[in-house]
Chain A
Amino acid sequence: MAEKMALAKAINESLRRALDSDPKVLIMGEDVGKLGGVFRVTDGLQKDFGESRVIDTPLAESGIVGTAIGLALRGYRPVVEIQFDGFVFPAYDQIVTQLAKMHARSLGKVKLPVVVRIPYGGGIGAVEHHSESPEALFAHVAGLKIVSPSNASDAYWMMQQAIQSDDPVIFFEPKRRYWDKGEVNTEAIPGPLHKARVVREGTDLTLAAYGPMVKLCQEVAAAAAEEGRSLEVLDLRSVSPLDFDSIQASVEKTRRLVVVHEAPVFFGSGAEIAARITERCFYHLEAPVLRVGGYHAPYPPARLEEEYLPGLDRVLDAVDRALAY
């Protein structure tokens, strides 16, 4: 049934469906039970599925991921919540040295279907360590899959697919889009988890983004259209694997590419996209691939985040520069 709901509610509904359809699915994390999570993404789940399915954990991120690995070894499919992006680092060791590698180390005998949910990114006026975008740090690690939905429908379906995946999936939730409503058809047949999608057709330049920056890029494309420029907007949806075929197809059409993400530009996912697209599309490109993102600085205090985060004008400026070649 198609229904309009907020992105956070779509994840909630998706988790509910997973808990309902597979007794091996577990929800774990700090405050996910009675409180329903600090963003209420797990609201009501413990009430309906009980404390043994929706588990309030001790305040220990490494413990959350490490025990989820053990539960997965026992045949469970844990979906764990890290309360905020900046708090994932105590669990980083377990994710990188254990979760990512156990399947390969066991020559395929062991599967770790663990989903690590991380509300990420800025724009909500939070304090330190509550606004970061660490996806590149995870994408560098083989064995992990990294996805980030940009809208309610994707949030619903990508969570279903992440839970069903036999690989560990780091599920980055764009927290500033939690309250954005969109149509969710819970009976639809979703496309592949790692396939990018053209959200707006254009001919002059491609804007590639994922998660919270997709909406911004759509706004940029609308503003540019008023100036007579036709921008194509790609929602990458997945950071690892990255759908280079879709980016290439778009760039071969528009001949220009600007990548937009909140994470620092230096060594970020935009750098990887720029390098590979330059390799693949060298003779198609009319301009170097440009990147718009965060600076090589700690995420700033809330009163400065508008300067730090890519906004309409900064992206339009990059579009102008690319078109000037």
Chain B
Amino acid sequence: MTVESTAARKPRRSAGTKSTAGKTTTARKTTSTDPELVQLLTPEGKRVKNAEYDKYVAGITPDELRGLYRDMVLTRRFDAEATSLQRQGELGLWASLLGQEAAQIGSGRATREDDYVFPTYREHGVAWCRGVDPTNLLGMFRGVNNGGWDPNSNNFQLYTIVIGSQTLHATGYAMGIAKDGADSAVIAYFGDGASSQGDVAESFTFSAVYNAPVVFFCQNNQWAISEPTEKQTRVPLYQRAQGYGFPGVRVDGNDVLACLAVTKWALERARAGEGPTLVEAYTYRMGAHTTSDDPTKYRADEEREAWEAKDPILRVRRYLEASNHADEGFFAELETESEALGKRVREAVRAMPDPDHFAIFENVYADGHALVDEERAQFAAYQASFADVEGA
């Protein structure tokens, strides 16, 4: 080590992390409950006042509250059914949203019909809010297609598997909205792991530079497969926004009211021409990353138990009961509806037909391609050769 490099390191040490112990503290801060966390409903189901965000949910009716609860219950039921179907061999893979229902329903219900949503592959709750039939979400996991719905029917883009890519598509789309002079907004979903991707950083840059009407909704579910948030960042994620010149807010991601309020605020900012916002929904992935991994290998049971106490659905039920906004009849009826949804999903998956063999060659190009035509013809001849054998 040269004298210069030693000298260069000293000021940094005194300015920041002084020792190993100091580093640990800094890292832990990203996972502890932050004083700046926006919360409107406590885990005990108590409504708490918030001067800044209360107005975005002030007019909410008991009927709408029950609606949010219903959305979360049905989304969880759908997710549980899909997980079971994977275990039964009906789906090749499933990415469960268990634990993230409030973040998705709260933000999803904040969107307007003309807004456009760019999801990852876990936004089953947002898809529900956008009116995408949940059975359509299962095609790619069953292996019958790579999409499954028309993105323009519900302004809900196809799931994106490459981590963070969709944040740039969202930004470009938002730039287009601004060019059109429309007052819609875009919301881009991604996770804490995606925050390390270059595309997410580039989308922050582009959206800030062009003042694009986009809301970046990061569901920090604490784990990127087996890697904790500490392996992605040394500062709380919402603080990243500051460096790009737009606001970042951390919201309790298990609080559907807070997620609704903060996302509404951010979308309204976007529509008013005030540019992008980063919302970090601080939540927890209760299950595995996908059905392929095993969380018991990388995280402690106590951690999950601590988060179970903050369950996003339970706290709304407590609030509904305590405020007499819902009776036993409502919960019983929802239970019946929930079972019916499970049955519908189960039957739909089992009835899903395999795609036509020639689908391989469909829509590779919009304007056609000579090689695809040639290979389709070869494939047809090959297939036909079996028919000859069978016919003989």
Report A's interface with B, CB cutoff 8 A: 52, 57-58, 60, 62-63, 65-76, 90, 93-94, 97-98, 101-111, 142-143, 145, 165-167, 194, 240-244
Main secondary structure of the interface of B (DSSP, over half): helix
Pair A70/B173 contact, Cβ less than 8 Å: yes
Give the chain B neighbours of A52 by CB distance below 8 A: 179
Complex CA distance for A62 and B201, rounded to whole angstroms: 10
Complex CA distance for A244 and B373, rounded to whole angstroms: 13
Give the chain B neighbours of A111 by CB distance below 8 A: 366
Give the chain A neighbours of B177 by CB distance below 8 A: 74
Pair B371/A62 contact, Cβ less than 8 Å: no
A67-B168 CB under 8 A given contacts A58-B202, A106-B151, A142-B372: yes
Report B's interface with A, CB cutoff 8 A: 145-147, 150-152, 157-158, 160, 162, 165, 167-177, 179-180, 198-199, 202-203, 205-206, 209, 362-367, 369-372
Complex CA distance for A93 and B163, rounded to whole angstroms: 11
Pair B150/A63 contact, Cβ less than 8 Å: no
Pair A67/B199 contact, Cβ less than 8 Å: no
Pair A70/B147 contact, Cβ less than 8 Å: no
Pair A166/B147 contact, Cβ less than 8 Å: no
Complex CA distance for A52 and B150, rounded to whole angstroms: 29
Give the chain A neighbours of B158 by CB distance below 8 A: 102, 105-106, 110
Give the chain A neighbours of B173 by CB distance below 8 A: 70-71, 73-74
Most buried by B among A107, A166, A241: A107
B205 to chain A, nearest CB (A): 5
Pair A143/B364 contact, Cβ less than 8 Å: yes
Give the chain A neighbours of B205 by CB distance below 8 A: 58, 60, 63
Pair A74/B172 contact, Cβ less than 8 Å: yes
Give the chain B neighbours of A94 by CB distance below 8 A: 165, 168, 199
20 contacts between A and B (CB under 8 A): A58-B206, A60-B205, A63-B168, A63-B203, A66-B168, A66-B171, A66-B199, A67-B169, A70-B168, A70-B174, A74-B176, A76-B176, A105-B147, A108-B362, A108-B363, A108-B366, A165-B367, A240-B369, A241-B370, A242-B371
Contact of B203 among A66, A72, A93, A109 (CB under 8 A): A66
Give the chain B neighbours of A73 by CB distance below 8 A: 151, 157, 169, 172-173, 176
Give the chain B neighbours of A76 by CB distance below 8 A: 176, 179
A62-B199 CB under 8 A given contacts A75-B176, A94-B165, A98-B162: yes
B117 to chain A, nearest CB (A): 12
Complex CA distance for A75 and B173, rounded to whole angstroms: 9
B150 to chain A, nearest CB (A): 4
- The residue on B at minimum CB distance from A272 is B371
**19 extra interface residue pairs, beta carbon distance < 8 Å, beyond A98-B160, A106-B150:** A52-B179, A58-B205, A58-B206, A63-B171, A63-B199, A67-B172, A71-B173, A72-B172, A74-B173, A93-B162, A94-B199, A97-B165, A111-B366, A165-B367, A166-B366, A167-B366, A240-B369, A240-B371, A244-B370
